[in-house]
Amino acid sequence: MRRRPDDAEPGGPAVPRSPAPRSEAPPRAARAAALGSRVASWRPVRVLGRHVVQKGPLLAAGLTYQALFALFSALWVGFSVAGFVVAGNEVVRDELIAFIQSAVPGVIADETGAGVVEPGALANASVFGWTGTVALVGLVFSSIRLFGSMRDSVRTVFRAPQPATPLLLLVVRDLVLALAFGATVLVSASISLLSTTAVTWGLRLVGLSTDSDASAALLRLVGLVLVFAFDTAVLAVLFRVLAGLHIPTRRLLAGSAIGGAGFVLITFVGGTLLRAAGSNPLLASFAAIVGLLLVINLLCQVLLLAAGWIAVGMDDIGVLADPHAEAERLRLLEEARRAEEARAATRRTRAAERLRGLASRMPRALRGRGDRAGHGAGEADEDGSGVGRRR
């Protein structure tokens, strides 16, 4: 038989072999799998995954397309109505323009010229001409489509079925919400004007200049806080009223606040996006509209991400967003609870019956044992006496 070269010679010492190196691939693979599962369990990662799976980018693109048409019609009609409300008050009108610029940067041109619509054109807006009529009709149809699309998109993120409400009632509710939204914008602009006036008066009261950088930063901060409160309230109403979802109040406020913070961040960097679009030679000719599209698309993405944040949190606690499904789930839970209580009561009743049966049998058993003991003692006496007599 042939031997390998490393085999020991007959009668000679055995040649030791070095142990095979251990592979570190399984531990590394296990650590990588554990890290991957840990990262996948993070809530932001799950929210992003839900956003992609539910086609959030596509839904946001559709909302952006519809919001663009509704926005210009709303500006024309809104400023026409605001002209009657403010009765030529230029201070309130300027504050309204500033509020819209801070909420949706790029739609109204600022002092640098970055924007789509000139403020002077809005100041002369009228709803009684043919342009106002076209804008009014376009606003009605575009607002219905926009609010309906937002409702469907949000319910898609929550994986809730479409509402069974009649179509006419949905249309009327969308129009009412659109009117309420416009009135809220006007009220928010008035509150912003009052807060700005109050801050300016406070700065003058303590002897600080209103033209300094610190004063400008403070006024900017107050404006951002008001925009944050406005956006949070709008998102809460959108999730609860427009989408018609059942969301616990604490989770609704938390998700709406996260979305409002995202809105504020986007509006804060909106000017940077517009300047970046304007500096691109390929986009210079229509930089304003491209920048506006970018801002609106990001706002729609944040809207759906905020909805996804709430939806993931509700999945963790097992609460359903659809009111009818949640009511059915609660009904089944209540029936299960009552059935368990009935079974527990039955078990308690049976245990009590067993105890009563044992208690009723114990005296008889004790009497029987006493009788047997007495009978045995009598027999023992008789046996003892007999023995004595025999002895």
> Do 252 and 103 share a structural domain?
yes
> Do 355 and 307 share a structural domain?
no
Give domain status of residue 326, yes or no.
yes
> Do 349 and 286 share a structural domain?
no
> Do 304 and 170 share a structural domain?
yes
Is the per-residue pLDDT at 1 higher than 50?
no
Region for 18 from its dihedrals, namely left if φ exceeds 0, alpha if ψ lies in -120 to 50, beta otherwise = beta
More confident residue, 284 or 219: 219
With beta carbons less than 8 A apart as the criterion, state whether 349 and 356 touch. no
Per-residue pLDDT at 51: 92
The amino acid present at 241, given as its one-letter code, is V
- Angle at which helices 167-205 and 56-86 pack, to 10 degrees? 60
Give domain status of residue 381, yes or no.
no
> Do 317 and 306 share a structural domain?
yes
> Do 276 and 234 share a structural domain?
yes
Which of 321, 352, 375 terminates a domain? The answer is 321
Is the per-residue pLDDT at 388 higher than 50?
no
Q: What is the pLDDT of residues 374-383, one digit of tens each?
A: 555 555 455 5
Give domain status of residue 33, yes or no.
no
User: What's the domain range around 158?
Assistant: 45-321
In which band, very low, low, confident or very high, does the pLDDT at 390 lie, cut at 50, 70 and 90?
very low
Q: Look up the pTM and report it.
A: 0.72
Phi, psi of 117 (to 5 degrees): -105, 135
Is the per-residue pLDDT at 166 higher than 90?
no
With beta carbons less than 8 A apart as the criterion, state whether 124 and 130 touch. no
> Do 226 and 120 share a structural domain?
yes
User: Whose CA is closest to 116, among 266, 270, 223?
Assistant: 270
> Do 276 and 194 share a structural domain?
yes
Is the per-residue pLDDT at 106 higher than 80?
no
The amino acid present at 19, given as its one-letter code, is P
> Do 344 and 310 share a structural domain?
no
> Do 333 and 306 share a structural domain?
no
DSSP-assigned beta bridge partners for residue 117 = 108
- Indicate the range of 38-52, 78-92, 200-214, 216-230 predicted with least confidence: 78-92
Q: What is the pLDDT of residues 279-305, one digit of tens each?
A: 665 655 566 777 778 888 988 999 999
Largest distance between two CA atoms of the chain: 144
> Do 257 and 176 share a structural domain?
yes
- Mean pLDDT (whole number) for 152-180: 85
Which of 267, 296, 321 terminates a domain? The answer is 321
* Structure tokens that stand for 16 in this block: 């030791």
**In whole angstroms, what is the distance from residue 286 CA to residue 177 CA?**
32
- Mean pLDDT (whole number) for 195-220: 74
What is the residue-averaged pLDDT of the chain?
76
> Do 178 and 110 share a structural domain?
yes
Give domain status of residue 347, yes or no.
yes
Written in H, E and C, the secondary structure of the chain is: CCCCCCCCCCCCCCCCCCCCCCCCHHHHHHHHHHHHHHHHCCHHHHHHHHHHHCCHHHHHHHHHHHHHHHHHHHHHHHHHHHHHHHCCCHHHHHHHHHHHHHHCCCCECCCCCCCCECHHHHHCCCCCCHHHHHHHHHHHHHHHHHHHHHHHHHHHHCCCCCCCCCHHHHHHHHHHHHHHHHHHHHHHHHHHHHHHHHHHHHHHHCCCCCCCHHHHHHHHHHHHHHHHHHHHHHHHHHHHHHCCCCCCHHHHHHHHHHHHHHHHHHHHHHHHHHHHHHHCCCCHHHHHHHHHHHHHHHHHHHHHHHHHHHHHHHHHHCCCCCHHHHHHHHHHHHHHHHHHHHHHHHHHHHHHHHHHHHHHHHHHHHHHHHHHHHHHHHHHHHHHHHHHHHC
Give domain status of residue 10, yes or no.
no
Give domain status of residue 389, yes or no.
no
Give the chain's domain count.
2
Is the per-residue pLDDT at 73 higher than 90?
no
Per-residue pLDDT at 391: 42
- Mean pLDDT (whole number) for 337-365: 80
